[in-house]
Structure 1
Amino acid sequence: MHTSRRRLLSLMAAAALAVGLSVAPVPRAADAAAPQAYRPVIFVHGSAGSASQFESQARRLTSNGYPIDIIEAHEYDSPNIATILPQVYAGLDARISRLLAATGADRVDLLAHSLGTFVMQGYLTSSPTRAARVAHYVNLDGRTATSPPGDVPTLAIWGEGDPARTIVGATNVHLPDESHTQTVSSPESFGEIFRFLRGRAPHTTRIVPQILGTARVSGRAVLFPSNVGVTDAILEVYPVSHLTGGRLSSRPAHRVPLTGDGSFGPFPVLATARYEFAIVRSGAPTHHFYFQPFLRSDSFVRLATSVPGEGLGALVDTSDRHTALTIQRQKEWWGDQGDAGDNLWINGRDVLNPANTPRAKRTIAIFAFDDGSDGVTDLTAPLPEFFSQTFITGMDVFIPATPAHLGVVRVTVGQRGGGYDVVNVPNWRSSAHRITVNVDDF
């Protein structure tokens, strides 16, 4: 985060705390000036993805007047997409019908990324009736085509890679300096998307904070990468100190059971404050998620975890002596681009390098822990069982823990293009705790 932006948020948070929480109304679909003032927007993610990829763009849409409750994501089990396509299509049919009935809109606008473009091109070409309910389609860094799918007006945005990629007959925009996931989350792609959907430039490409009031946050706790909801767990939400990441109260501000599809909220939160979301399961490590300020209402929060003892979490070495981190950002980490790349310091050590985060790897999630629990950091090579996964890397970093989690892990991001973000979290023992740090992509 740029220094000036961090100062602004600090001042806004102080002002909000001084006057107390005054609720700022969240726009609803019924508040639109006319039933078709804003069409519903549906985002469809790619491989191993979720609504998280579109979280920043959703907040940019609401910063430009869109009601939050007409922006949705259609999530699915991407590793098994070949066998579940009919169910995915049927679910999207139902979602579109519900949104059209709720808003009175004539059609929806549909956006898809990567593998999602395969899913959505197939959907639009599967039936003229389906295509007729879609006003615009945005194809984000995915499949090419010889014509607009279903003859729906199409915008195709392409990132780095083959400049010859195109959808014939569509509006094709190339952003050669942006990486694969970055094409979904960047302000540049938002400007193109908004102009295509609305026929004019957006008022802003920023995420405009809700000042002197509360935002409302909701989302899902899901198993990675299937997007199946977490059940038989409790979600606790705590306001935390921006200096230490420590809880400001021993009692959670919100405590709810997770059932069904793992949905939670909406919860009122101070837009410029910091929060911890903790998934608590009997007999299993607590999974702590830390966020930078939400800035404004957000319905796309995703808490990606795993079944205890299964998935990538089972490959993380644990002990009472060290902390284990997962650090994720919806914009690739570049460790091999010199001054044009990123920096990521954990307790003052820059952990990115050409071996563990080359640009070509398209890493968005980093697992950092003491491999072998030997108290030694070794960054000469990535951990192969993590590096072999799409969009993921792993690194051997010894992060000391304390029994009472009274210490601090300082995570500092040097963003390519300028600016710094700092997220401080408690140094929980990995033997009983998991930590995910969510870094803004803007």
Structure 2
Amino acid sequence: MSLSRRALLGSALALPFLRVAGAQEAATPILFVHGNGDHAALWMTTLWRFESNNWPRERMAAISLPDPLARADDAVAQPGRSSSAEQTERLAAAVAELRAKTGAARVALVGNSRGGYPIRDFVSQPAGAAQVSHVITCGTPNRGVYDWEFNPGNEFNARAPFLRRLNGGTTDVVASTSFLTIRSDNDLYAQPDGRYIGRPGTPTGITQDGPALRGATNVLLTGLDHRETAYHWRSFREQFRHIAGREPHTMGVIPEERPRIGGIVTGLSDGAPTNRPVAGARVEVWTLDWQGQRESEALLDVTTGGDGAWGGAILPAWRYVPVEIVLSVPGHPIAHFFRSHFPRSSAVVNLRPPAAPTETERAAGCLVRLTRPRGYFSWPRDVVLIDDQEVAEKREGIASIAAARRNLPAARAGSPVYALYNEEKLVGRAVPLAENRIAVMELSW
């Protein structure tokens, strides 16, 4: 790169920081909490947007709760799943850790979906509220996903003890903490009909106003789906304004010169996701050309220890290059994750092995899965293509699908595969299912 271009790029990167000089010391620490079955990686793009607006990386944290799935009955122990009380205890520990790290008396808490429950539970206690300056719940089913006699002990039932306690007062907020909720009219967990939770035709007793809280600032962002209420740039704007008290300077992500990526390898328990670390997993990182071919030697090839951590891959400077991350976990299919370029560093590129092929998928010579962790697909809002063809899972109405697949013949092994989601394009490579390999094309946006 020429000196003049580097100087120009450097000036562009510095501009937002110059506008808010001195703000780093005053930035409120923020703790991000994922939803049911999810993990910290979903906050990656949100962290990038805050960083691009001069929020110091060291004053933010995204946690992965060990057992992210709720129990069928909140009061009955279930292997690999967590109770509402356990989630609140773990959140309290994470708040204490962030306060100790930053020296701040109070922090801001931002939660998506189920992640809003332990936040509300924590601040409903005087000792918790004293440690929290701001609360933001994004798509959290604050009135439940349903209000009915089925599953009476389930955490998401408005009639269950947990939500009855949280919602039993005359207000849903506490005076010393500033509350914001972000919701949508396209949220599959805020619907009057039980279609999206396995009981079509059964009224849920819930409406799109279910995520709102009495006494909070309640914002409706039309068209966004359940996860986008947390991870979309429109949601980021509301989060930033609520915590900072001003507009962000950019909604986008300002690139770094040499992004470094890493994260944790976690596993599956009886097919269900966990966030507990996996030892003995091999992680390889490669850059690709636009035909899906590896460019050179691997940037990283490591095996995880007891903490499941992997990291240290430094991506090329100032180049928009596709990335392939190969995850090999004993007892699971080998995953070839194909990703678009990482514009900034991230320590939450967490990896899980893919689920075993279904009966339908086993017929493929090469299996390609397209996933969107930070949102769902919605038609006709979105364009979703694999190999220049619309995906078979296309379904109009409320956004409710986050994954699609394409079965390819064995003869395609080694050939490029392209996927498109609106303006984000991925390139990957078909891999042979006979070798227990699956291509996972994972969208970032």
Q: TM-score, normalised by structure 1?
A: 0.75
Aligned counterpart for 2:68 among listed residues 75, 78, 87: 78
Secondary structure, counterpart of 1:299 in structure 2? coil
Contact 1:219/1:302 (CA < 8 Å) preserved in 2?
yes
| Alignment of 1:400 onto 2:376 | no
Q: Deviations over 1:231-261 (max 9, x none)?
A: 22111111111x1222112x32112222334
The letter of the residue matching 2:171 is: S
**Pairwise CA distance, 1:174:** 0.8
Please tell me whether the aligned partners of residues 218 and 267 of structure 1 are also in contact (alpha carbons under 8 angstroms).
Answer: yes
Give the equivalent residue in structure 1 for 2:384: 344
Note the C-alpha offset of 1:159.
0.9
2:295 aligned to which of 248, 254, 257? 248
1:134 to 132, 135, 147: 132
**Aligned-residue offset at 1:111:** 0.7
Corresponding residue for residue 398 of structure 2? 360
Counterpart-to-counterpart distance in 2, 1:332 and 1:284: 25
The answer as to whether partners of 1:285 and 1:431 remain within 8 angstroms in 2 is no
Q: Equivalent residue for 1:393?
A: none
291-300 or 223-232: bigger deviation: 223-232
The 1:40/1:402 distance shift into structure 2, 3 A limit, reads farther
- 1:209·1:295 contact (CA, 8 Å) conserved in 2? yes
Structure 2 equivalent of residue 100 of structure 1? 99
| Higher RCO (C-alpha under 8 Å, 6+ residues apart) | 1
1:154 counterpart = 2:198: no
Deviations 1:140-180 (A, max 9, x none): 11115553444421011111154544211111111122111
CA contact (8 A) 2:95 2:107 kept: yes
Residue 427 of structure 2: which of 416, 424, 429 is its match?
A: 424
Return closer, same or farther for 1:100/1:179 CA change in 2, 3 Å cut-off. same
Do 1:328 and 1:436's aligned partners in 2 also have CA atoms closer than 8 Å?
no
Deviation (angstroms), 1:314? 5.7
What CA distance in whole angstroms lies between the structure 2 residues aligned with 1:99 and 1:313? Answer: 40
Aligned with residue 221 of structure 1, among 262, 265, 280: 265
TM-score w.r.t. structure 2 length? Answer: 0.74
Structure 2 SS opposite 1:300: coil
Structure 2 counterpart of 1:156, which letter? T
Cα-to-partner distance string for 1:292-342 (whole Å, 9 max, x where unaligned): 111112223222325xxxx5546563368333324324121013x3xxx22
Contact 2:229/2:235 (<8 A) preserved? yes
Q: Please list, as runs of the form range in 1=range in 2, the aligned pairs for 1:313-392 lying within 5 A after superposition.
A: 313=357, 317-318=361-362, 321-335=365-379, 337=380, 341-352=381-392, 356-360=394-398, 362-366=400-404, 368=405
How far did 1:124 drift? 1.9
The two structures, once aligned, show a CA RMSD in angstroms of 2.8
* Bigger mean CA offset, 290-299 vs 191-200: 290-299
Change in 2 beyond 3 A, CA 1:62/1:316: farther
| Cα distance between partner residues in 2 of 1:284 and 1:364 | 21
> How many pairs does the alignment contain?
366
State the SS of the aligned residue for 1:270: coil
1:123 aligns with 2:113: no
Is the partner of 2:366 in helix, strand or coil?
coil
Distance 1:359 1:74, change over 3 A: farther
Pairing 1:32-51 to 2, within 5 Å after superposition: 33=22, 36-51=25-40
Between the aligned partners of 2:331 and 2:109, the Cα distance in structure 1 is 42
Secondary structure at the residue paired with 1:52? helix
SS across alignment from 1:88: helix
Residues 73-97 of structure 1: per-residue CA shift (max 9 Å, x gap): 2222232453534443333233222
Distance 1:312 1:48 in 2: 17
Structure 1 residues without counterparts, runs of 5 or longer: 1-10, 17-23, 26-31, 369-396
- C-alpha deviation, 1:283, in angstroms: 6.8
Q: CA deviation at 1:39?
A: 2.1
Quote how far apart the aligned CAs of 1:264 are: 2.0
The SS at the match of 2:129 is helix
Equivalent pair of 2:31/2:110 in contact (CA under 8 Å): yes
Q: Distance in 2 between matches of 1:234 and 1:361?
A: 35
Residue 55 of structure 1 pairs with residue 44 of structure 2: yes
**1:218 to partner: Cα distance:** 2.2
Q: What is residue 284 of structure 2 aligned with on the other side? A: 236
CA contact (8 A) 2:110 2:138 kept: yes
Moved more, 40-49 or 74-83: 74-83
Task: Check 1:284–1:75 CA distance in 2 against 1; reply closer, same or farther (3 A cut).
Answer: closer
Partner of 1:383: none
How far 1:422 moved relative to its partner?
2.1
Query: Which segment is superposed worse, 168-177 or 194-203?
Result: 168-177
- Cα deviation for residue 214 of structure 1 reads 0.1
Structure 1 position 199 matched with structure 2 position 189: no
Which of 197-206 and 44-53 deviates more?
44-53
Equivalence for 2:442? 438
